[in-house]
């Protein structure tokens, strides 16, 4: 029996790799100025942790970091860039997932989608459609929501509305696909993908067998 000592730096790297990093950004002038308390941000953080920490696709501890900014494009983009970009000497690695809440409506100060879209390298319209379809089941006003969703580097960024009710509805709509999407982004094997591969293999085998001439 032998004991191998692992350097502290390697232990840190392993621990960081095992953690799923999530950023929750609340965009609100009133919350930022202290005029009102943040309700949607903590709710979104809790829902994300509940869903992602229990999913077998990811099998990683969930670390949540939260922030609040006013409805200003530059302030929103500063956090999105800090949370999604690799930079030399950075204190932390990029987030796997960024969820924003607030600033997606028709009001003049609602600029979260405008701050988000220019930073995206790939858009994810399916996530937006899923959220809108679910919200429309509850209110026709959902058609006035303008969320953006997409990928920057290896980070998935999704805009959600600002009300707690809308946060519940929208996150529930995308939570089914999020773990699989994050697994694909991190290039880790997903049980769902494995199941698909097995089905394809089984189908191919069955097809080949049926094509063989009877003896």
Q: How many other C-beta atoms can be found within 10 angstroms of the C-beta atom of residue 112?
A: 29
What is the reported pLDDT for 91? 63
What is the reported pLDDT for 90? 56
What is the reported pLDDT for 4? 42
Asked whether residue 58 carries a pLDDT value surpassing 80, the answer given is no
Percent of the chain at pLDDT above 90?
Answer: 69
What is the reported pLDDT for 177? 95
Q: What is the mean pLDDT of residues 173-184?
A: 94
Asked whether residue 182 carries a pLDDT value surpassing 50, the answer given is yes
pTM assigned to the model? 0.80
DSSP 57-120: TT--EEEEEEEEE-S-HHHHHHHHHHHH---TT-SSPPPSEEEEES--SSSTT--HHHHHGGG-
Q: At 95, is the secondary structure helix, strand, or coil?
A: coil
Percent of the chain at pLDDT above 70?
Answer: 74
What is the reported pLDDT for 199? 52
DSSP H/E element including 200: helix 191-211
The CA distance from 21 to 186, in Å, is: 11
Confirm if 96 and 178 have CB atoms less than 8 A apart. Answer: no
What is the reported pLDDT for 137? 97
Residues in the chain: 215
b (16+ CB within 10 A) / e for 60-84? bebbbeebbbbbbeebbbebbebbb
Q: What is the mean pLDDT of residues 99-123?
A: 98
Question: By C-alpha distance, which of 21, 130, 33, 121 is closest to 72?
Answer: 33
What is the reported pLDDT for 53? 87
Please give the mean pLDDT across all residues of the chain.
Answer: 84
Place of tokens 């509805």: 169
Asked whether residue 208 carries a pLDDT value surpassing 70, the answer given is no
List the helix and strand counts (H, then E) for the chain: 9, 6
What is the reported pLDDT for 128? 98
Output 149 or 208, whichever has higher pLDDT.
149
Confirm if 160 and 105 have CB atoms less than 8 A apart. Answer: no
State the pLDDT confidence band at 186, using cuts at 50, 70 and 90: confident
What is the reported pLDDT for 200? 52
What is the reported pLDDT for 215? 44
The CA distance from 48 to 42, in Å, is: 10
For the purposes of burial, counting CB atoms within 10 Å of the CB of 93, is it exposed (0-12), middle (13-18) or buried (19 or more)?
Answer: middle
State the pLDDT confidence band at 187, using cuts at 50, 70 and 90: confident
Residue 159, CA distances (Å) to 13, 76, 207 in order: 30, 11, 44
Asked whether residue 191 carries a pLDDT value surpassing 70, the answer given is no
Question: By C-alpha distance, which of 96, 66, 88, 90 is closest to 79?
Answer: 66
């Amino acid at each position: 029996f032998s004991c191998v000592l692992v350097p502290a730096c390697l232990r840190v790297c392993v621990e960081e790799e095992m953690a799923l990093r999530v950023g929750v950004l609340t965009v609100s002038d009133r919350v930022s100025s202290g005029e009102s308390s943040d309700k949607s941000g903590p709710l979104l953080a809790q829902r994300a942790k509940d869903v992602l920490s229990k999913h077998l696709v990811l099998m990683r501890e969930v670390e949540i970091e939260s922030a609040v900014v006013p409805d200003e494009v530059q302030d929103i983009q500063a956090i999105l860039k800090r949370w999604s970009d690799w930079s030399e000497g950075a204190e932390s690695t990029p987030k796997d997932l960024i969820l924003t809440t607030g600033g997606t409506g028709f009001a003049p100060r609602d600029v979260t989608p405008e701050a988000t879209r220019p930073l995206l390298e790939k858009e994810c319209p399916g996530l937006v459609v899923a959220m809108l379809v679910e919200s429309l089941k509850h209110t026709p006003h959902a058609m006035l929501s303008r969320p953006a969703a997409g990928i920057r580097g290896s980070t998935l960024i999704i805009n959600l509305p600002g009300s707690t009710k809308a946060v519940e509805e929208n996150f529930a709509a995308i939570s089914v696909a999020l773990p699989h999407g994050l697994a694909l982004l991190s290039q880790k094997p997903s049980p769902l993908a494995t199941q698909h591969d097995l089905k394809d293999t089984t189908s191919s085998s069955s097809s080949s067998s049926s094509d063989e001439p009877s003896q």
